[in-house]
Structure 1
Amino acid sequence: MPIDTPLLDNNDNSSSSVVDHEEDKPLKLVHKVGVESKKLWLIAAPAILTALSQFSIGALTQTFVGHVGELELAAFSVENSVIAGFAFGFLLGMGSALETLCGQAFGAGHIRLLGVYMQRSWIILLATALLMLPFYIWAPTLLKLVGQADDVADASGHFALLMIPQLFAYALNFPIQKFLQSQSKVFVMLWISVGVLVFHVIFSWLLILKLEWGLVGAAIALNSSWWLIVIGQLLYIFITKSDGAWNGFSWLAFADLFSFVKLSIASAVMLCLEFWYLMVLVLVAGHLRNPIVPLDAISICMNINGWDMMIALGFNTAISVRISNELGAGDFRAAKFSVIVVSLTSIFIGVVALVIVLTTRDYFPQLFTSSDDVAKQTTKLAALLGVTVLLNSLQPILSGVAVGAGWQSLVAYINLGCYYAVGLPAGILLGFTFGLGAEGIWSGLIGGIVMQTIILIIVTSVTNWKKEADEAESRVKKWGGTTSYEN
């Protein structure tokens, strides 16, 4: 017995230790989730507020214009969604190449590369903006070719000419944002954007409603506000040197431009296929009988959807920064865990957004229009808007993972197939062949988003994150991480 007793005691202690260890696992997991959530929210919260502020510059302008007249609202909506939407999507997509490159270089400790990357992106995006000028100059003809009503096309085209300065502000702004985001300097962008938004609201009210300048006043206010954002961010970078990430203009910005263009185009195609997808809803709805009312209703829903998208894009930014930084640092487990945490968080927010849209569908249209017909049509579309904002909670997050990991080309093919080979034809079939109008068009487009989201979930689930970390290291070296100017 004396021999057996200690043996029993040892077994008991061992068993107790195992039990304690098992009990600690949930606590450790909760702690890990809390730590990762804090990291994500420190980036996501200011990024969301920045995105909301910048989106609100256009959205609030649309609200003022909506009280001028139905034609003015339709013209603003078409220019903002189609012409400016085309430029915004393509230039933002090209600038998003910096999310991969700057994020991974920052994670790997190659800080001084970031300024060179930003300058390369400026060169490419400014050249692209010049190539986009014909879309602005000949906007009325192009809009009529795709079936827009003559009065809407002419008014939209005139407004597009006035908005050319915004095009070049986009070209400078997006590389600046990616440069700052990769260093988690999101609060700088937030304060600048909030300050400009306050100015913009007062200026827009004065020009559009008080002085009754209509679309001309809207153009002056929008152009001024976007250039103020660019100037404010540039002043911060030039004055502070961004902790060593900015070392002045360099001829190295002109090196490897062709390879940089290829990655930028891959990023642009991926993102544009997403941005243009719901833009197509506006174009296709223009072919409906008596299109002004459904166009106005859709534009109001797109406005609400855009505000919700800004929340998702904040998380898109956060997960892109987290993924690229962790892969650049070689910590593939942290990258994988970050994907899980941000996905669960964003889905919860999406459910809340869905509930808000459905419970306020009889009230929010009046904020955007004085027309009873437009308000009633908007209420009819609210259910589809609710489904869309729910999907927005996860789909942009998965796209952010793709950008952070450098999967732009793969996701471009996925988007092309799901959106334009399935969703768009389904929308046209439901809207016109089955006579469901705007509701049918939008329902078909939602089907494409559902398919794309499912495929991205599968791709993310089967990813070998250790391999992605190894590829990130190779990418940093390929783009100059071992060159002499890094030391």
Structure 2
Amino acid sequence: MDREDDREVQAKLLSDTHRTEESLWWSVWIESKKLWIVAGPAIFTRLSMFGVFAIAQAFIGHIGNTEMAALSLVFHVLVRFSIGVLMGMSSGLETLCGQAFGAKQYHMLGIYLQRSWIIESGFSLLIIPLFIFSAPILISLGQTEDIALMANTISLWYIPILLLYIFNFTLQMYLQAQSKNMIITWLAMLSLGLHVLGCWVLAQGIGLGVAGLMVSMIFSSWMPIIGQLIYVFYYCPHTWTGFSMQAFNGLWPIFKLSISSGVMLCLEIWYNSALILLTGHMEDATIAINALSICLNINGWELIISFGFLAAASVRVANELGRGNTKAIKFAIVVVVATSLAIGVVIWALILGFRHNFSYIFSNSAAVADAVSDLSILLVFSILLNSIQPVLSGVAVGAGWQSVVAYVNIICYYLIGLPLGILLGFVAGLGVKGIWMGMMGGTASQTLVLLYFTCKTDWDKQVLIAKARVNRWLIPPSNEFDNIIA
């Protein structure tokens, strides 16, 4: 009988273990679906946005090396600066909309959206002079005169695209907080197709060169924004109740959160800008900038995938904080980090396999191809780091830790990574490799700090903080006709 009892106990334990494993995999499947509902469209949207530049770079690379280097400078310095400011400020909206949606205060999403438009419009006006006077700015930063003058021409064309960033990032944050961002994906697909056609016809068919590329870029960038605005105004009745004068109330706390969010993300995005600026001081800067730009381009494709998971992590954490479900928060973090890292490993293997060939997509130069192949080892390790770090930043955004992470970024990036890169690149004579290695050290240290914060956080306390934030900025729903446009 004892043996029979033992067998029954063992059978029960095996059965319970099997049920537990099934339950775990089912939970992973459910969480993955929630994750990809946000991450999939967010990844494709960012790939499309980045693809607009990559397509232009592919076309302009066959016009000339100076034009390609100039476009790279504009994108990696001026445009990254602008994206850093405006997308960073929009990440404050990501926190507010995500937590308000989780707390079922749906009407507040439209109010938060309008407040962000007001605040970011003011900041965009302060950025425009950088594009108008880009030539003297780039020359003062050590760039050659011919590249700087061509960059000035391109940057003037870029001003209409700069203005759309006010709506681009805020609309993304607003829609993805509700898991309604599939509309952005369809519009992004249309935009990318039109841009390929526009570049082909205007730059090569008609022969307008740089002007043709920029006209195509302006048109293909604004088209999806108009589509998103129409969708929000007519197909989001619960979260968009029309323009309201309430948007002008309580701007100061939103401004402070936007500033801390902007600083946090700017410090990350500008980091690569510092890398390409330092490269401009090396001998044969044109080849070095082009090679590094191609590597950063590939890195950017993977980083944008990780930024899609940043968005997913932010939305999942913010929504569950609004609902008060700490167990779901922890599980969501594990799933999103594991998923992003797995994709990073696949890209890592592909780049190693094709490191001698992929540069020819962007340039016909054999010298550039050799330089890219030489940098590919650093590229793949950057990709592995980028598979984890942005996702942890998304956790910070969802929880509203932007101001704390801003200080972490200053220390890790600019007090550790940047000085180390200068030391290895210029003092130790390792050139571009040394600069990149040092800055990877800053990224690695920042990743470790964020991982420590995430693991040690008391999520029950964070739920209370999130509820207090939602209640502090809550405006009761009104049935009065105080909307300008219903």
Cα offset, 1:257, TM superposition:
0.8
SS in 2 for 1:335: helix
Partner of 2:321: 327
Partner of 1:71: 66
Q: Distance in 2 between matches of 1:486 and 1:323?
A: 31
Q: Distance in 1 between matches of 2:48 and 2:237?
A: 26
Cα offset, 1:126, TM superposition:
0.9
Q: Distance in 2 between matches of 1:359 and 1:90?
A: 36
Q: Distance in 2 between matches of 1:116 and 1:340?
A: 32
Residues 108, 325 of structure 1: 8 Å contact kept: yes
Answer yes or no: is 1:259 the counterpart of 2:246.
no
Q: Distance in 2 between matches of 1:284 and 1:486?
A: 57
SS in 2 for 1:480: coil
Q: Distance in 1 between matches of 2:17 and 2:299?
A: 44
Q: Distance in 2 between matches of 1:166 and 1:63?
A: 19
Cα offset, 1:22, TM superposition:
4.2
Trace 1:67-146 onto structure 2 (pairs within 5 A). Answer: 67-146=62-141
Cα offset, 1:42, TM superposition:
2.1
Identity value in percent = 44
- Equivalent position to 1:485, from 470, 478, 481: 478
Trace 1:170-209 onto structure 2 (pairs within 5 A). Answer: 170-209=165-204
Cα offset, 1:464, TM superposition:
0.9
Partner of 1:389: 383
Cα offset, 1:209, TM superposition:
2.1
- Equivalent position to 1:318, from 303, 312, 316: 312
Answer yes or no: is 1:406 the counterpart of 2:400.
yes
Q: Distance in 2 between matches of 1:223 and 1:231?
A: 13
Trace 1:160-309 onto structure 2 (pairs within 5 A). Answer: 160-240=155-235, 242-309=236-303
* TM-score under structure 1 length normalisation: 0.95
For the structure 1 residues 220 and 20, does the alpha-carbon distance in structure 2 shift closer, same or farther, using more than 3 Å as the test? Answer: same
SS in 2 for 1:381: helix
Partner of 2:19: 24
Q: Distance in 2 between matches of 1:284 and 1:485?
A: 54
Partner of 1:149: 144
**Counterpart AA for 1:361:** R
> Does 202-211 or 362-371 show the bigger shift?
202-211
Trace 1:2-81 onto structure 2 (pairs within 5 A). Answer: 17=12, 20-81=15-76
Residues 46, 190 of structure 1: 8 Å contact kept: yes
Q: Distance in 1 between matches of 2:3 and 2:479?
A: 62
Could you list the runs of 4 or more consecutive aligned residues of structure 1 that deviate by over 3 angstroms after TM superposition? 7-23, 484-487
For the structure 1 residues 194 and 296, does the alpha-carbon distance in structure 2 shift closer, same or farther, using more than 3 Å as the test? Answer: same
SS in 2 for 1:213: coil
Residues 98, 178 of structure 2: 8 Å contact kept: yes
- Equivalent position to 1:364, from 358, 369, 376: 358
Q: Distance in 1 between matches of 2:222 and 2:24?
A: 45
Residues 102, 321 of structure 2: 8 Å contact kept: yes
Residues 68, 209 of structure 1: 8 Å contact kept: no
For the structure 1 residues 12 and 210, does the alpha-carbon distance in structure 2 shift closer, same or farther, using more than 3 Å as the test? Answer: closer
> Does 407-416 or 36-45 show the bigger shift?
36-45
Cα offset, 1:230, TM superposition:
1.0
Trace 1:368-379 onto structure 2 (pairs within 5 A). Answer: 368-379=362-373
Residues 159, 219 of structure 1: 8 Å contact kept: yes
Residues 113, 486 of structure 1: 8 Å contact kept: no
Cα offset, 1:276, TM superposition:
0.6
Cα offset, 1:352, TM superposition:
0.7
Partner of 1:470: 464
For the structure 1 residues 484 and 35, does the alpha-carbon distance in structure 2 shift closer, same or farther, using more than 3 Å as the test? Answer: closer
For structure 1, list consecutive stretches of 5 or more residues without a partner in the other structure: none
Cα offset, 1:320, TM superposition:
0.9
SS in 1 for 2:243: coil
Trace 1:326-365 onto structure 2 (pairs within 5 A). Answer: 326-365=320-359
Cα offset, 1:20, TM superposition:
3.8
Cα offset, 1:486, TM superposition:
9.2
List per-residue Cα deviations over 1:137-172 (Å, max 9, x = no partner).
111111111111111111112211111111110112
* TM-score under structure 2 length normalisation: 0.95
> Does 363-372 or 36-45 show the bigger shift?
36-45
Q: Distance in 2 between matches of 1:292 and 1:141?
A: 18
For the structure 1 residues 486 and 341, does the alpha-carbon distance in structure 2 shift closer, same or farther, using more than 3 Å as the test? Answer: farther
RMSD: 1.8
Q: Distance in 1 between matches of 2:80 and 2:10?
A: 63
Q: Distance in 2 between matches of 1:265 and 1:295?
A: 31
Cα offset, 1:484, TM superposition:
4.3
* Residues paired across the two proteins, number: 480
Q: Distance in 2 between matches of 1:208 and 1:34?
A: 46
List per-residue Cα deviations over 1:291-335 (Å, max 9, x = no partner).
010001111111111111121111111111111111111111101
SS in 2 for 1:96: helix
